Amino acid sequence: MPGHIALNTAAPLPESVDSKNKFEDLSGIDATAYENPYDALIEASQGDPGLLQSRYSAHRTTRNSQQKAKLLSPEFTSLITDPILQRLVDPSIEPGFTDPRHCLVFWARPPSHIRSLAGKLQQKLLELAPNLWLMPVENMHLTALEIIHSVSNAEAKSLIDNIGPATIAAMTDYTFSHRTRLLKPMLSYDAAAIALSFLPAAGESLPVAASDSAERTEGDDNFTYHHLRRDLYNIARKTGVNIGSRYVVPSSHITIGRFLRQDDHDSPEKMKLFVKGIEEINEWLEKEYWPKQGEDRRLDAEWIVGQEKGLDCREGTLWYGGGRTVRLGKGF
């Protein structure tokens, strides 16, 4: 992994949220022995999308349970507020501050119906935490592959040159011919942020075999979101670049909010109400948006990655949805 930059700011860069917030794989899979870490879960699941989905589900439900216990513990003292985002939102904290952390990523942009759902959830969350920072809807993204993060502008641009326009085109267009489906939305949370997470589909609400009226069959779900992540990793590695992802846990999520203040959660009673509110939202999501046995397929409750826009190769200071597009892939 390339070295991190020496920062040339007037004051030392505040400690990042990532340094305080641990990301670990809670699915029960150890990927350390694999050259491509995404192969581990695919091999453990024997290519079965149902087993793979269950691993993704185990990760997010276990993590939510862990975070609930942490937030409601008598030993809990404070949320992990983001000092860099605080300075960007309120320039008076440190006038002239700019975020020096450049990144290079491949994002999947949520289609309009998923953005609409995320917007509804943000409004529900504001009722629970009025001081929550909301990710602008137009900035929302699912990170399919992170090449590098927190490096200099020059280093990020050199990686773009190393990968090359042909490979970037192949990667950003990949979802046009390799269509993977996400469903079963749920709010995932920790002491730093709230995300809308999904599970890779496993044949829910689809016909087993093709028919004249079916555009997608159960067999199409054999290519899961995890397979997409694996393939993108392989394509990028063939260019010789090192992949410096912060984490490769089995999660498909879009960040929708971050904590900037303690006011909304500065007592055990407030925190209990907040966690209870998230759980009630998740019950509503499962009732209204999860596929049910015997029901017809609901297109407004699923996300086929690549809908409307292909993958977005993005570089720059994009921790909060910014940066610039190097190339946007072909959507459908």
Of residues 184, 63, 199, 196, the one with CA closest to residue 121: 196
Question: Is 24 among the domain residues?
Answer: no
Containing structural domain, residue 187: 38-328
Q: What is the pLDDT of residues 229-238, one digit of tens each?
A: 999 999 999 9
User: Which CATH number covers residue 291?
Assistant: 3.90.1140.10
Structure tokens belonging to residue 92 = 């008076």
Question: Is 187 among the domain residues?
Answer: yes
Question: Is 63 among the domain residues?
Answer: yes
Q: Letter for the amino acid at 132? A: L
Question: Is 9 among the domain residues?
Answer: no
Domain count, the chain: 1
Residue 8 predicted with pLDDT over 60: no
Q: What is the mean pLDDT of residues 252-273?
A: 97
Question: Is 278 among the domain residues?
Answer: yes
Q: What is the pTM of this model?
A: 0.92
pLDDT at 20: 61
Q: How many separate helices (H) and strands (E) can be counted in the chain? A: 9, 9
pLDDT at 7: 41
% of the chain with per-residue pLDDT over 70: 92
Question: Is 80 among the domain residues?
Answer: yes
Number of Cβ within a 10 Å radius of residue 154: 10
Question: Is 205 among the domain residues?
Answer: yes
- The strand order across the sheet containing 133-134 reads 133-134, 252-258, 193-200, 181-189, 303-304
Q: What is the mean pLDDT of residues 214-224?
A: 91
Question: Is 23 among the domain residues?
Answer: no
Q: What is the pLDDT of residues 80-109, one digit of tens each?
A: 999 999 999 999 999 999 999 999 999 999
Spell out the alpha helix ranges (H) of 72-111: 83-89
pLDDT at 244: 87
Q: What is the pLDDT of residues 10-48, one digit of tens each?
A: 467 777 666 566 667 777 777 788 899 999 999 999 989
Q: What is the pLDDT of residues 197-211, one digit of tens each?
A: 999 999 999 988 876
CB 327 within 8 A of CB 315: no
